[in-house]
Amino acid sequence: MEYLDLKKQHQEIRQEIDSAIKKVLDSGVFIGGEEVSSLEQEIALYSACKQAVSVNSGTDALFLCLKSLGIGKGDEVIVPPFSFIATAEVIANSGANPVFADIDLQTFNIDPEKIKEKITEKTKAVIPVHLFGQMADMEKIMEIASDSNIAVIEDAAQAIGAEYQGRKAGSFGQAGCFSFFPSKNLGGVGDGGMIVVNNENLAENIRLFKNHGSSKKEKYLNQVLGINSRLDALQAAVLRVKLKHLDFWNKKRIENAELYNRELSGIVEIPDVSEDALHIYNQYTVRAEKRDELKQYLKEKGIPCMVYYPLPLHLQPAFSYLGYQKGDFPKSEQACEEVLSLPIHPGLEQGEIRETAKAIKSFYEM
C-alpha cells in the first residue's frame, strides 16, 4: 500500500500526459506561452473567478499577494498556528508580523471568533487556511474582515475544488492561493502555483511583482523590485491534462473518506465536515488517542500514515522571536498531539481502506 500512489495515477493518463509534453517540446516555448495562459483561463473558470495568475509555487502565491496588497514592515497578518510553515513564513519574509489565532478543533481551521480577538490597528489581512481540503467558515471571516477593513487571502493550497455554501475555494477573498505540489489533489510533476482574483488591478500588480517588477509591455523597464516566479509550460501542460480529471479524483477521495468514516466511527475522532462545506480530502485526518503508539503500530503492519503537523507554528524555533509560549494556543497544540493522516488517494482500493481500519481497531483492542 502506498500513502500516495502518483505512479498509478500517471499510468492511467500516461498517453494524455505524454502527448501534452510532446506538444510543448515540439513548440520550443518553455516559459509562458499558450499552455500557461490556457491553464490560467481554465483555473479561473473552474474557481469561478475573473482572473488567475500562474506562479512557481503555492508559497510564492501567498508572498506575492502580500506584496501586491502593499503589506510589509510594521503590518500584522492573522494566521492559524496549525498549518504548514509557508503560511506564516511569507508574512515574516514580507517584513510584516504573523499574529496567530487558534483553530476550531473539529475542523482544524481558524476560529473566526479568535480572529476578532487579534485585530488591532496594525492588522492588514487575515490568511485562513482551508486545511486538509475543507474550507474555513468564510461567511463569518468575510464579515469580520469587512467590518475591520482588512484583506482576506485564502490559503487554498490543499483545497482546489473544495466548496463552502456552493462557492469554490479561492473565490471569497481578495485572492485565493493554490499549490500544485505533486501531493496536492491537482499536482504537477514539480513545483507550481496559482493565484485567483476578481480585481483586475490586483491581478496586474501580482503579474508585475512575479516578473522582476517588469510588465510585458515594457521589457527591461523595472517599475518595482519583484521576484522571478513563473510557471513553466511543461508544468502547465501536465496540469491542464490533470484538471480534466480533478472532479472525478475528488469524488473518489470523498467516497474513500465515507468508507473510512463507516469503519472508524467510534474508534477514533473521524473528520468533522461542516454542513455548508464540500470537503475534498487532500488528507484524511483523524484524531487518535495514543497517536504516536498507533502510528508505530501501523508502520509495523506495513500501513503508511503521516502526521500533519507535529509542532504548531508558534512553537517553531524560526518564530521564537515572536515570544509565544506553550499553552498560548491550546487547540492547535492538542491537534498536533492527536492528528494522524491515513491514505486517501483516488487510486486506493476498498480492501486497503478496510485493512487500515482493521489494524486501527486491533490496536485499540489490545
- For the stretch 147-191, pLDDT in tens is 999 999 999 999 999 999 999 999 999 999 999 999 999 999 999
Q: Domain check: are 251 and 276 in the same one?
A: yes
Q: Domain check: are 298 and 332 in the same one?
A: yes
Number of domains in the chain: 2
Would you place residue 299 in the very low, low, confident or very high pLDDT band (cuts 50, 70, 90)? very high
Closest CA to 29 of 170, 265, 232: 232
C-alpha cell at 259: 468508507
**pLDDT given at position 217:** 73
Is 128 within 8 Å of 110 (Cβ atoms)? yes
Task: List the CATH number of the domain containing 304.
Answer: 3.90.1150.10
Would you place residue 355 in the very low, low, confident or very high pLDDT band (cuts 50, 70, 90)? very high
**pLDDT given at position 220:** 87
**Portion of the chain with pLDDT greater than 70, in percent:** 100
Q: Domain check: are 179 and 223 in the same one?
A: yes
Q: Domain check: are 236 and 279 in the same one?
A: no
- Write down the pTM of the prediction: 0.97
Q: Domain check: are 226 and 260 in the same one?
A: no
Express each pLDDT in 190-235 by its tens digit: 999 999 999 999 999 999 999 999 987 777 899 999 999 999 999 9
Residue 132 belongs to some domain of the structure? yes
Express each pLDDT in 105-130 by its tens digit: 999 999 999 999 999 999 999 999 99
∠ CA 120-123-124, nearest 5°, is 155
**pLDDT given at position 159:** 98
Is 36 within 8 Å of 236 (Cβ atoms)? yes
Q: Last residue of a domain, which of 243, 276, 295? A: 243
Q: Domain check: are 239 and 284 in the same one?
A: no
**Portion of the chain with pLDDT greater than 90, in percent:** 97
∠ CA 346-347-351, nearest 5°, is 110
Residue 136 belongs to some domain of the structure? yes
Residue 182 belongs to some domain of the structure? yes
Q: Domain check: are 220 and 269 in the same one?
A: no
Region 345-366: mean pLDDT is 96
Residue 76 belongs to some domain of the structure? yes
Residue 175 belongs to some domain of the structure? yes
Region 341-360: mean pLDDT is 98
Q: Domain check: are 205 and 57 in the same one?
A: yes
Region 38-66: mean pLDDT is 98
Residue 308 CB neighbour total at 10 angstroms: 19
Q: Domain check: are 313 and 168 in the same one?
A: no
Q: Last residue of a domain, which of 201, 226, 243? A: 243
Q: Domain check: are 219 and 284 in the same one?
A: no
Q: Domain check: are 66 and 208 in the same one?
A: yes
Angle between helices 58-68 and 86-93 (to 10 degrees): 40
Q: Cite the beta strand spans of 181-301 per DSSP E.
A: 193-197, 277-278, 284-287
Q: What range defines the domain where residue 349 resides? A: 246-365
Residue 1 belongs to some domain of the structure? no
- As to burial, measured by CB atoms within 10 angstroms (0-12 exposed, 13-18 middle, 19+ buried), residue 170 is buried
Would you place residue 55 in the very low, low, confident or very high pLDDT band (cuts 50, 70, 90)? very high
Residue 77 belongs to some domain of the structure? yes
Region 291-297: mean pLDDT is 98
Q: Last residue of a domain, which of 243, 266, 296? A: 243
Region 321-346: mean pLDDT is 98
Q: Domain check: are 192 and 289 in the same one?
A: no
Residue 209 belongs to some domain of the structure? yes
Task: List the CATH number of the domain containing 28.
Answer: 3.40.640.10
Would you place residue 16 in the very low, low, confident or very high pLDDT band (cuts 50, 70, 90)? very high
Specify the pairing of strand 163-164 against strand 167-168.
antiparallel
